[in-house]
Each structure stands twice: as C-alpha cells, then as structure tokens.
C-alpha cells in the first residue's frame, strides 16, 4: 500500500489532470456519499495522487477524514515498517553475510522514530495527530485516532500480527468499515484477517524477527507469523460484490472511494480462500 506524495514532476502531472482543487470539505462529502457516517469506526487505505491535487496535501485528506467521522468516530490506518528478519527480504534482498550485523545492530522499534515503509504521506501525517495511538507492533502495526483508539490498538503482541488477537480482530468486533481512497482491495490489509482464519493447501507459517526493547534492553526477538498473499484479494472482493455483498462508491477528483463492511467481506473471504486458493503464498 502506498499513499506517498508524488515527486515534483509527478505533482505537475497530477495538477494537469485535476479539473479543480480537491478541498478537505470535498473529501468529507465524498466519504459521506460512500457510506461513511459520523461516529463510524473506519480502517483507511489511500493513494492521494490517484485522487487528484488536494488542498493541503496529506493534511487536507486527514482533515476531511476527521470531519467525516466526527468527534465520536475512530479512524485506523496500517502503519507497517518493513522491520523483519533479513533472511526474508526480497525487494531488495541483501547478502547473507550482512544478516548478523542487521540482527545485532538494528535500533529497537520505536513508533516515534522507526520509519514506515510504503505507507506514504497520509499515514505519516495521521500518525502525528495529537492523541494518535500506535498498536506497538514493530512490523505490522496500526495507528488510530478517536475515542476507541486505545481499546482497538492494544494489546498487539508480536504473534498476534494481522490475526484475531490483534487490532484487525477488534476492528471487526467494533463493526468497522473498510475505506479505500483511490486504491483497490489489493491494498486492503483487513483481508489478511481472513487468511489467518482460512485453511488451504500450502498455508504456511514462518519465523520472523524484530529488534525490540525487553525490560529496557534491546533484543532481537523471533516470533511465528503467517506467510501472507494478497494477490487474490481483488478476485475475492469482486466475487463478494457479484454475490450481493454491499459495496458503496463515490467519486473524488479523478479517483474513487470504495467502502464496505469489514465483517461481511472477511466472512465471505474465509470460505472463498478455502475453496479457491490452492497454491503456496508467493
């Protein structure tokens, strides 16, 4: 998932194809048109440049989101870092001779300092909001803002990851809506919850690791995590809608906002994966 602000030449292209500036009020109105209501709990994924030129950039998007759910609503966003064991790295891989130094010297995870990877400008802005709460997971964490933030984010143990015992499970219980701003379900972190529940040939687990503080001391800690595969998420979402799953859309600039109920989509995805997924995750 990426909502990174475009480079200067990229911004010029965004300006060129934007008929008029997108204001924070436009973001709010489009979210309401897509089924978001004051008081909602939402998990948001975004690609700002796919919407058009937004007044205030990432801050304008965040402002529009906050106004859409109001003071009684809670917003959650994935805040993934890429912190992981170097033996698993592919984009790019590093020489095996580097692995010990990485494991021995990588600074311990700190949500205030550890950079997010591939998350982009909207999440980075959102994470700086006063009162925002980080779940604390060094690799697949989340950040939340609103009255339910603390309860949704904690606890988030290393092995809970994207499963039932972490924020995604609690988001489902809270009746959260998935909100996709300019992106499709290939970026939908919520659907990994279905992977944890489903069984299919080739489902596998692996050992990962992260540098964390334990009793005030930096340690490299290993934990068990599921091999994930989002390649079929768009197929699942299309099948969900084709079979009557409720999906709402609205236009925003030259992009689309898509929303649906997290519980409904995940509930559909579990048997779909069990029936249709037959290969080892890539």
Do 183 and 48 form a contact (C-beta atoms < 8 A)?
Answer: no
Phi/psi at 125 (5° precision): -65, -45
Interval 75-88: pLDDT, tens: 999 999 999 999 99
pLDDT digits (tens, 9 = 90+) for 219-271: 999 999 999 999 999 999 999 999 999 999 999 999 999 999 999 999 999 99
pLDDT in tens, 24-73: 999 999 999 999 999 999 999 999 989 999 999 999 999 999 999 999 99
- Inter-CA distances, 18 with 26, 59, 64, 252, Å: 14, 18, 18, 11
Distance CA 273, CA 281 (A): 12
Listing DSSP states for 95-152 in one string gives -GGGHHHHHHHSPPP-TTTSPPSS-BHHHHHHHTSTT-EE---TTEEEEEESTTHHHH
Q: What residues pair up with 192 in beta bridges, in sequence order?
A: none
61 — phi, psi (to 5°)?
Answer: -65, -45
For residue 87, what is the DSSP state?
G
| pLDDT at residue 14, as a whole number | 86
């Amino acid at each position: 998932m990426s909502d990174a602000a475009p480079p200067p030449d990229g911004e010029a292209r965004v300006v060129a194809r934007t008929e008029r500036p997108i204001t924070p009020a436009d973001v709010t109105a489009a979210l309401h048109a897509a089924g978001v209501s004051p008081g909602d709990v939402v998990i948001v994924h975004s690609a700002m440049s796919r919407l058009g030129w937004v007044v205030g950039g990432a801050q304008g998007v965040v402002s529009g989101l906050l106004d859409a759910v109001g003071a009684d609503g809670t917003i959650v966003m994935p805040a993934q870092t890429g912190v992981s064991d170097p033996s698993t790295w592919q984009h790019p891989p590093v020489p095996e001779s580097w692995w010990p130094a990485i494991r021995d010297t990588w600074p311990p995870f700190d949500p205030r300092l550890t950079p997010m990877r591939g998350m982009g400008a909207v999440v980075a802005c959102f994470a700086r909001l006063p009162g925002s709460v980080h779940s604390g997971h060094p690799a697949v964490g989340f950040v939340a803002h609103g009255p339910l933030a603390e309860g949704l984010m904690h606890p988030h143990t290393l092995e809970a990851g994207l499963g039932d015992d972490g924020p995604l499970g609690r988001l489902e219980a809270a009746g959260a809506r998935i909100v996709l701003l300019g992106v499709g379900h290939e970026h939908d972190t919520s659907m990994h919850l279905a992977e944890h529940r489903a069984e299919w040939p080739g489902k596998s687990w692996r050992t990962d690791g992260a540098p964390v503080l334990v009793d005030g001391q930096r340690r490299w800690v290993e934990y068990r995590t599921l091999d994930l595969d989002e390649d079929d998420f768009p197929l699942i979402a299309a099948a969900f809608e084709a079979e009557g799953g409720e999906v709402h859309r609205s236009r925003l600039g030259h992009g689309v906002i898509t929303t649906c109920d997290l519980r409904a989509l995940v509930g559909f995805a579990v048997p779909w994966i069990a029936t249709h997924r037959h290969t080892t995750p890539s």
